Amino acid sequence: MKVIAPKVSFNLPSKNFHEIYEEEDPELELCEVNESIFENEVLPRIRLYKVIIKNCRFNNTDFSNIDITDVIFKNCDLSNTKMNKSSIHRTLFSNCKLIGVDFTHSNLGNITFDDSILNLVAFGESKLEKVSFQNCALESSDFYECKFKGIELKACNIDGVNFERTSLKGIDISTSTFESIILSVEDLKGCKVSSYQAIQFASLLGLEVVD
């Protein structure tokens, strides 16, 4: 699987995120935003296109129905942000904090989460296609009834993650770690696991493994 990277220029004019209020339509495009603080705001249905966003804070902001395409988030804090019913494509989250973000009922494609914290994130009833999680913390995140296609979980902490009613067929979790996980036998069919994880799953299913 190859995730398509954001198609964005690295020679862009600078803007403050609050300048989005000055636009006729609530959107930012073809710019770089650095060190903006945009917290506790309510701004649904905005559009971000070909933007680099670095060192910014968006805590507790309502971005419901957001449309994001060709965007790089680097060193940003989006904790407890509402991004439900969103459309996010060709986007990179690098070294970002996304604790408790609401991505429910969203369409996510060609996204990389790299070295990021996604504990307690809600992805429920979303469609994820070509989404890569690399070296991320996903503790107690919720993937209830999601549709997966081309998902990577590389060296992630997936302890306490809920995969109920989400098929893991073809998904490789062998390099990720967990103590417990929430899923059914049907969800697990076709999932690629390490030999140690196979013993963990046997235990979770009530089996006793003996040599």
For residue 8, being part of any structural domain is answered with no
For residue 1, being part of any structural domain is answered with no
Phi-psi region of 21 (alpha: psi -120 to 50; beta: other; left: phi over 0): alpha
For residue 180, being part of any structural domain is answered with yes
Show Cβ contacts of residue 22 under 8 Å, excluding neighbours closer than 6 positions: none
**82: nearest Cα among 54, 103, 110, 111:** 103
How distant is the alpha carbon of residue 20 from its chain centre?
24
Q: How far apart are CA 175 and CA 187, in angstroms?
A: 19
For residue 5, being part of any structural domain is answered with no
Find the CATH number of the domain harbouring 137: 2.160.20.80
Show Cβ contacts of residue 144 under 8 Å, excluding neighbours closer than 6 positions: 123, 124, 125, 162, 163, 164, 165, 166
pLDDT by 10s per residue, the chain, length 211? 799 999 999 899 999 999 999 988 899 999 999 999 999 999 999 999 999 999 999 999 999 999 999 999 999 999 999 999 999 999 999 999 999 999 999 999 999 999 999 999 999 999 999 999 999 999 999 999 999 999 999 999 999 999 999 999 999 999 999 999 999 889 999 999 999 998 888 877 777 777 7
For 134, the token pair is 């690399």
Domain count, the chain: 1
Domain, as residue range, for 147: 14-204
- What are the phi and psi torsion angles at 192 (to 5°)? -95, 120
For residue 6, being part of any structural domain is answered with no
For residue 161, being part of any structural domain is answered with yes
What pTM does this model have?
Answer: 0.94
